């Protein structure tokens, strides 16, 4: 990030106009405008006052913290995932945010950490706590100014999902309208270009990622269609779509956990105790779908921020407690079943390890 971008980013964060900044520094507003557009640079004697005004160090102002490598980002995200199970949410949250502030030039790190913080906040029921939600929204707003259009698009998507979860549908539409509708899939073009350039390993990874993301899209679409059919009472069609979803997940090596999860909506609708118990047992006993993908030949070139099996099982326990809340009327038929009670105890024991 150039010095002009740093000044603009932190000035906006402080909700300060160019004129206000100019008055404080004893320069003109056009001078500040030229700095931010990299048409000129501040005098060396102004660097310390600018840094103090913006609440940053001169190192940050001069971008001495360079863009992180993919490996460095992976290491930070992996450490964040490890700390997730070793500390309370507040401590973990502030550690993650401190890393984003430490490397202000890495928008990729920022989007990955912010997503992880919000996702886990949702699991533990703290995603709507103002002190966490406000910090996450501020970080997303900064990312909307990223020079990387992919980061901006991912940020808009996350803000759209947040608005949907809060039933703020007008806000969701606002973000949706800003997401570009790309008619050309650049992922395929990128993979083809890698082949032409002889970057075979990168080409494999690009194609594998297309398969993985396409499977996710299919899973989301079919899952939504299953829910719609059940709302209409069309059980046979819901069963048909569930079968097709399982076939897709099996064919693309998404793992036994994901196949069983595909049956969940149908099992709850039918009040099928045995099927529900089987799904819940699978949820707790498997390490989630990431291990299956890692072991698959289909995704052998893809890089994943590592969540080991033990950590994933513990996380699954916490998710199970949230998903099967005692106030959820849809699963009232399960609450007196001793097998269900034992599974909830097991989930609680796993979740306790996270404290």
**Ranges of each domain in the chain:** 3-61, 70-178, 186-352
Q: Can you give the pLDDT at residue 184? A: 72
Q: How far is CA 74 from the centre of its chain?
A: 14
Query: Residue 345: left if φ>0, alpha if ψ -120 to 50, beta else—which one?
Result: alpha
Longest Cα pair distance anywhere in the chain, in angstroms?
A: 75
N residues, the chain: 355
Indicate if the pLDDT at residue 291 is higher than 80: no
Q: Can you give the pLDDT at residue 31? A: 94
Q: Can you give the pLDDT at residue 303? A: 76
d(CA 45, CA 62): 14
CB 57 within 8 A of CB 6: no
Task: Quote the DSSP letter at residue 327.
Answer: T
Indicate if the pLDDT at residue 267 is higher than 60: yes
Please, which residues have CB within 8 angstroms of residue 242's CB and are 6 or more apart in sequence?
Answer: 226, 262, 263, 265, 266
Residue from 308, 309, 305 nearest 71 by CA: 305
The CATH number of the structural domain formed by 3-61 is 1.10.260.40
CB 267 within 8 A of CB 279: yes
DSSP 223-284: HHHHHHHHHTT-HHHHHHHHHHHHHHHHHTT--HHHHHHTTHHHHHHHT-HHHHHHHHHHHH
* CA separation, residue 4 to residues 33, 62, 315, 316 (Å): 9, 9, 42, 45
CB 280 within 8 A of CB 343: yes
Q: Where are the beta strands (DSSP E) in the chain?
A: none
CB 146 within 8 A of CB 152: yes
pLDDT in tens, 157-166: 999 999 998 8
Indicate if the pLDDT at residue 314 is higher than 70: no
Q: Can you give the pLDDT at residue 266? A: 92
Please, which residues have CB within 8 angstroms of residue 20's CB and are 6 or more apart in sequence?
Answer: none
Q: Can you give the pLDDT at residue 250? A: 93
- Please, what is the angle between helix 200-231 and helix 186-196, to 10°? 160
Residue from 232, 300, 152, 87 nearest 292 by CA: 300
Of residues 201 and 318, the one with the higher pLDDT is: 201
Per-residue pLDDT, averaged over 181-187, amounts to 74
- Please, what is the angle between helix 18-25 and helix 29-36, to 10°? 110
Q: How far is CA 174 from the centre of its chain?
A: 20
Q: Can you give the pLDDT at residue 252? A: 94
Please, which residues have CB within 8 angstroms of residue 71's CB and are 6 or more apart in sequence?
Answer: none
d(CA 332, CA 325): 10
Indicate if the pLDDT at residue 235 is higher than 60: yes
Single pTM value for the model: 0.64
Q: Phi/psi at 190 (nearest 5 deg)?
A: -65, -45
């Amino acid at each position: 990030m150039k010095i002009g971008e740093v000044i603009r980013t932190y000035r906006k964060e402080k909700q300060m106009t160019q004129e206000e900044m100019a008055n404080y520094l004893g320069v003109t507003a056009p001078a500040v405008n030229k700095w931010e557009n990299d048409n000129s640079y501040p005098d060396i004697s102004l660097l310390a006052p600018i840094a103090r005004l913006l609440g940053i160090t001169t190192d940050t102002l001069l971008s001495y913290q360079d863009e992180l490598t993919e490996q460095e980002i992976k290491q930070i995200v992996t450490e964040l995932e490890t700390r997730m199970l070793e500390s309370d949410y507040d401590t973990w949250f502030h550690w993650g945010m401190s890393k984003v502030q430490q490397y202000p030039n890495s928008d990729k790190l920022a989007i990955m950490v912010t997503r992880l913080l919000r996702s886990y906040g949702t699991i533990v029921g703290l995603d709507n706590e103002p002190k966490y939600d406000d910090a996450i929204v501020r970080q997303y707003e900064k990312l909307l100014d990223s020079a990387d259009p992919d980061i901006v698009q991912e940020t808009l998507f996350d803000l759209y999902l947040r608005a949907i979860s809060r039933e703020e549908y007008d806000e969701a539409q606002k973000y949706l309208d800003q997401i570009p509708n790309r008619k050309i899939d650049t992922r395929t073009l990128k993979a083809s270009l890698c082949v032409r350039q002889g970057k075979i390993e990168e080409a494999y990874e690009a194609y594998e990622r297309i398969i993985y993301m396409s499977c996710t899209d299919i899973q989301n679409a079919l899952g939504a269609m299953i829910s719609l059919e059940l709302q209409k009472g069309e059980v046979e069609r819901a069963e048909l779509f569930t079968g097709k979803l399982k076939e897709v997940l099996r064919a693309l090596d998404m793992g036994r956990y994901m196949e069983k999860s595909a049956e969940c909506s149908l099992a709850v609708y039918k009040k099928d105790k045995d099927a529900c118990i089987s799904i819940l047992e699978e949820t707790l006993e498997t390490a989630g779908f990431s291990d299956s993908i890692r072991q698959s030949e289909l995704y052998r070139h893809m890089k994943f921020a590592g969540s080991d099996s033990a950590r994933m099982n513990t996380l699954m326990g916490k998710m199970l407690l949230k998903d099967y809340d005692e106030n959820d009327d849809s699963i009232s038929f399960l609450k007196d079943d001793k097998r269900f009670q034992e599974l909830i105890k097991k989930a609680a024991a796993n979740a306790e390890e996270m404290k």
